[in-house]
Each structure stands twice: as structure tokens, then as C-alpha cells.
Chain A
């Protein structure tokens, strides 16, 4: 059976979610592998959201926020960028392929870019194969 990855995407309310909405209302086609969770700001994405997604079986996690300088809350996206870089280092130490976590800036007008991003990320995660995190964490103990 073909591997169909599950990608959890945290989209900021003001830019990226609206961008994803635009992709939808414009009837653009993109891979159905993404599960969107709307957050008020990319700066609201607590590292636990990311870890928990992986732990519950996500093959990839995507965070999208407003372009630098465009944050509705001035600098939430910069905070997100800083956390993202440190999280990348942490998940690499934990033996998780860093490509499973991705950050992208998507504005409210970038429906097309959002659709392309989902297609390209789905292809990348497909290449990586299924995530082992859930199985390893739950079964290796003894």
C-alpha cells in the first residue's frame, strides 16, 4: 500500500490561514495530507504542540506565519522563528529527521504558494517514509 503521510499544520489566523482559505475558495488542488490547526499567531505555537503531534503519529509538522515584518502582533513570527531553529536542533538530537519539521511564511494573498507548499512538503515526507516516533516511544520501553 502506498504510504500516505499525515502532516499537522499550524497556521496563523491573520495571514497563513487566510492564505489557505484563499487556496480553497479559488478551488486550487493540493494534496489531502494536511490537517490544519488554526492558531492566533505562529508565536503561539508552543513546542509541546509540535512534540505532541509527532508523539501522536504525525509524519510531518508544518508551521506557517506572516512574512517577517507583517506579524499582526508585531513580532510573534520572529519568536516562532527563534523557537523553530532551536526545536530543529532538539529534534535532530532526538533522532528525528529535521526535514519533518518545516516553517514557511505564507501571506493572506498567497493561496497558490500554500497549495504548492503542501504538495512539495507531502512529497518530501513521502520520501522520508513513515515516522517511527509513535511506535518507538510506545513500544521500546522493555
Chain B
């Protein structure tokens, strides 16, 4: 890491996980043998899933030392927030990598509940928990050797840009490795970068534009189905079969992988450029598909949509306008 004797200084790359499942870090490895090309062009200076580099080592780096940081995961606790701020300070380019950093992602669904309810469920009620003394995690605990500390668990899950300034967003759950390579190649070759704040590694078009299923203009349904309730014919647009598919309001870029696999789009690539709220456009589109002008009938069709909030904001609740349940 210290040897900078070679002619061309190598890029310094960092990958970090906040509140994440680890899938994004693995998606970096999914570039397979191309990782060798990456390593030829860049030094990985921080990557907790793969390298034993401590927080204090990052703290010791000069400001703007890291060229590119891929931050995946949402901001759930004080540790995530601290490292997000630290990496912002140490990095030239900070990329929100994956749906969680981009919009809050699946961990963001915790905004449907509260910290208290989560703690109660996890440390008291869950089937595998035995906790008769009701011991809950403490942020500070004094022992003979000193004080033990744990990060503070926040009330809300936040996306990365709700905590620090973000240069680029690379969406996906996880982002397609091909897109990462394209973006990385762009940076490594010194090509001009898009303006800060852009979504990179995704298309400006929607999933529907790339989807090969048969579509007509006549999207009218008498009821909605969950995918398990219907036998998909494998050819017709999911929406026309009454299955909610997030395609119309979701960016392309993944290669319509879910739909190709006969599952409706769940919206992990996030909304298109113009949408100020990720789920509103979808709610609007789905509602107008209801094939009735009669109030009672409309109510019946709406009943067949089980969980509108969770469906339309599956990956984006923290970055939506009403970003958590009102408690």
C-alpha cells in the first residue's frame, strides 16, 4: 500500500458496508477473474468483508486519500453514520452502491415500525429468544477493565445521501457486476465523469422499455393477484395479467433479470429521473388500471392489493416523502 514507486499511481479503492446483507460486497466479487484487472489498476485500501484493515487505519489516512469509495448499506446506527462521515472526508468520490445506500433498501422497511418495537421483538418475543431478565443492548457498559461500547441504534433507517453528500448512485439489489465494471473502467481510464449527483450504471429508460413480454395499451384489470395466485403464461405483460410489476416506474439497467426469470420487477433500481417520490408514480399507475368507475367496485379491487406501501416502496421507504410510519 505504501509503495508508490511505480510510474502510474494506482487508484485507491474502498468498499464499505453499512446496514446491508453483504450481497453488495459479494457482487463486487462477482466480477470474477476481472477482479484481477481491477487490482492491477487499483489498490483496495479498505474493505471489511475481505481485508483486515481497521477503522483507525482509515482515520489515519489524509483527507481525500481514497479515490473512490463504494458505500453499500443504509444508515441504521451510529457506527454506520460515523463511517459514512469518515469515508466522505477521506474520499474524492463517494458512491452510494446498491439500493440500501441509494434509497434505504430492504433495511429501510424497518421505518414501518419503531426502535422499541424492533427491540421488543428481537430481544424479548422472538421464538428463539430466552431472556427472562429482559436484558437489552446498552450503548455503554462498565466492566473492571473499562467501558464497553456498542453503536446507538437509531429510530429510523436513512439512505446515504440523508447523512452525507453523495457523488454518484449505482442502484440495484445488488448492482449488476457488469455495470460496476463499466463505471470502474470509466474512472480508471480517466474518462470524463457525469455530473455529481447522477445515477450511474443504469439506464434512463424504464424496465418496460427493455422488457420483451407482449404489451398492449389496454391495461385494465378487475382484480390484482399476488404472483403465487396466478399461473403466469410467461409471455403477457405481468400488469395485464393483474400481477403488480414495478417495471413502468423502475430504471432499466439490470437486463430485466427478474422478468426474464418470470418474476415481476420489484423496483430495486429505483425510480426514473423525474420521479420525486419513488412509489407515488407507481401507485398512480396501478390505481388507474382498475377497470371500474363504480366506487364500491373500485374499493373491492383496491382490497386485492395487499400491501401498497410495502409493494411500492419496497426498496425506497426512507427516501420517500412520508419516510416512516407516523407514531
Chain A: residues with CB nearer than 8 A to chain B?
Answer: 46-48, 51-52, 54-55, 68, 75, 78-79, 81-83, 85-87, 89-91, 93-96, 132-133, 136-137, 140-142
Contacts and interface: CB of A to CB of B under 8 A. Distances in A.
26 contacts: A46-B280, A51-B277, A51-B320, A54-B322, A81-B293, A81-B298, A82-B288, A82-B298, A83-B284, A85-B298, A87-B287, A90-B308, A90-B309, A91-B322, A93-B112, A94-B309, A94-B325, A95-B325, A95-B326, A95-B327, A136-B327, A137-B324, A140-B156, A140-B324, A141-B155, A141-B156
B325 A137 contact: no
B154 interface: yes
B155 A51 contact: no
A46 B275 CA distance: 11
Interface residues of B, number: 35
Interface of B: 112, 152, 154-156, 158, 162, 276-277, 280, 283-284, 286-288, 290, 293, 295, 298-299, 302, 305, 307-310, 312, 320-327
**Top-9 shortest CB links A-B:** A95-B326, A51-B321, A95-B325, A93-B309, A47-B280, A83-B287, A82-B287, A86-B287, A141-B156
Contacts of B299: 85
Nearest to A91: B322
B298 A47 contact: no
Nearest to B81: A142
Contacts of A93: 112, 307-310, 325
